[in-house]
Structure 1
Amino acid sequence: MYWDQITTKNFLEHIIGHYDTAILPTGSVEAHGQHCPLGTDNMAPWYFAEQLENTYSDRILILPPVPYGHTPDLSVWAGTISVSASVLQQYVAEIGIGAAQWGIKNLILLNGHGGNTPALQAAMEQIAQENVRVVLVNWWLDFSQQILTITTSQGHAGEDETSVMLAIAPDLVHMDDASFNPFRPRYRMKGPGINDKSLRHATTGDGRLGTKEKGERIAAVVVQELSQLLERLWNDDLFERTS
């Protein structure tokens, strides 16, 4: 069910005590190459959340998304809006704490933007203090092994992300403007001139290789993995033995 579509009366009578799991999509508004929409990092996790709601509407609540993220490296590109990491951290933490007030014991942060990760990890610590189990999912990273059985590479507005957008919002993708960034940093770096190569065209990887068919396969894999995560969460099966 969608949290913001429920009335207060129905929330009191049918939600509290019956639903203990919520999903909070987080993303960003930022340049994605010259071919993908600024809201790519919001659209992908929201799509995945919608698919989960279709299957688990009687068990999960979908919170309204947090659409702005921490993306200073792309702030020079037209249309990008970046918020500070500290603001994002506190905002997400207070949302999670607010959800806990109404019975949420399991919260999945379904993230679409890598720059959000440090802030989300810090927010998790605050939310967990409210006796909530919090799981952070970076879909392109946590399921990278599976995605790379479908694509030859990954990247910001690259093959994998472009493919997903072609599958879920094809009218918003302009493949004639897709590009390839041949540079890959050897180290984690910040400083003058670095983004000219590391984020050339506001891209990493090769967006030209994206296809709708690949995107449909990636989306199916991500939803399958997220479904497994939910089942493991409910069965208290979040750890695996290494020996």
Structure 2
Amino acid sequence: MEPDAARDIAATDRAFFHILLLAGFTGGTENPMKLGEMNWPDIRDLDKERLVAVYPIASFEQHGLHLPLLTDTIQLDAMVESMDGKIGDRIVCLPTQWLGYSFHHMRFGGSLTARSQTHIRMLVETVDGLIGAGFDKVLVINGHGGNSADLRVALQELKETHAETSVYGASWWGVAAPALDSIREAGPNGSGHAGETETSMMLTLRPDLVQTDRLHPDGGRPPSVYAGRVEHFCRIDEHSSRGNFGDPTVATADKGQRMLDATVNCLVEIVDDILGERL
């Protein structure tokens, strides 16, 4: 074998090994996502032209008095598992990355966070591994609002270093907003962190983890008409004594299932639009 060919094969094998390490690091043994269940020859032999690599990112943080720390990850796991059931021939999924950027929740016990710089490196280097393994279409599905700023920076950096690769980011509550608004009853101010939407979804997915005797409306925007239009980073405890925003008391499992279905439908459409070169 020629030296150049040997180096090329070694570099390719390192890329496959890198992505398998990442998949194993970020997920558990019972995680339903598929990439971590494959071996490197399987990944090498995939027809990647017809596939979108799905990289879900979430958090490990407090969700008020009534929801568990892993709420974002549980929700995103369910969404991506449902996507896999619907379009498993079009996607290859990483396990959900449960550690995100959650500095603003750290005054409430149990929350874990990566520093922003660390988080951006995690995002960029995970996608680097996917690209090195041959995937040229990657969709990062975000399940936590605190990740959004880091994700934007990571997408910019990835475009600078991988100009010919298409890397997309989508926060599920953003892409599904019109559908979710048609289901919610509490309005925008009632559907914030651990509010109507997340509590409804958890009543569907893991009702055993929802402490319904602790449901309380809490939090809210500052009264200025410019709230939401002026950048101001603040901690959750500065606006909520319990750690939630909105009104979880109007949450129901029925609404949660409808919200999950609507969100998954939007995410499936995004995958189809990526493959159809409409995005």
TM-score w.r.t. the length of structure 2 is 0.79
Distance 1:224 1:29 in 2: 25
2:196 maps to a residue whose letter is E
Alignment of 1:101-180 (within 5 A): 101-128=132-159, 129-130=161-162, 131-152=164-185, 153=187, 154-180=191-217
Equivalent position SS for 1:61: strand
Q: 1:10 aligns with which of 42, 53, 78?
A: 42
Alignment of 1:22-171 (within 5 A): 22-128=53-159, 129-130=161-162, 131-152=164-185, 153=187, 154-171=191-208
1:181 maps to a residue whose letter is D
Distance 1:17 1:222 in 2: 25
| 1:19/1:61 contact within 8 Å kept | no
Change in CA separation of 1:2 and 1:40 when aligned onto 2, cut-off 3 Å = same
Partner of 2:250: 209
Q: Taking every aligned residue pair, what percent have the same amino acid on both sides?
A: 26
How many residue pairs end up in the alignment? 235
Q: Does residue 221 of structure 2 align to residue 189 of structure 1?
A: no
Distance 2:233 2:134 in 1: 42
Shift of 1:141: 2.5
| 1:165/1:173 contact within 8 Å kept | yes
| 2:51/2:275 contact within 8 Å kept | no
Change in CA separation of 1:21 and 1:216 when aligned onto 2, cut-off 3 Å = same
Equivalent position SS for 2:242: helix
The runs of at least 4 consecutive aligned structure 1 residues that moved more than 6 Å come to none
Give the unaligned 5+ runs of structure 2: 1-32
Distance 1:202 1:174 in 2: 14
| 1:16/1:102 contact within 8 Å kept | no
Equivalent position SS for 2:168: strand
Distance 1:87 1:35 in 2: 30
| 1:26/1:109 contact within 8 Å kept | yes
Equivalent position SS for 2:170: strand
Shift of 1:90: 0.7
| 2:43/2:133 contact within 8 Å kept | no
Give the unaligned 5+ runs of structure 1: 239-243
Distance 1:224 1:16 in 2: 24
Shift of 1:184: 2.0
Q: Say which is worse superposed, 140-149 or 25-34, in terms of deviation.
A: 140-149
Partner of 1:226: 267
1:8 maps to a residue whose letter is W
Distance 1:195 1:67 in 2: 19
Change in CA separation of 1:145 and 1:18 when aligned onto 2, cut-off 3 Å = closer
1:129-175: CA deviation from partner (whole Å, max 9, x where unpaired): 32221221111233222111111231100001110111111111111
After superposition, the CA RMSD in angstroms is: 1.8
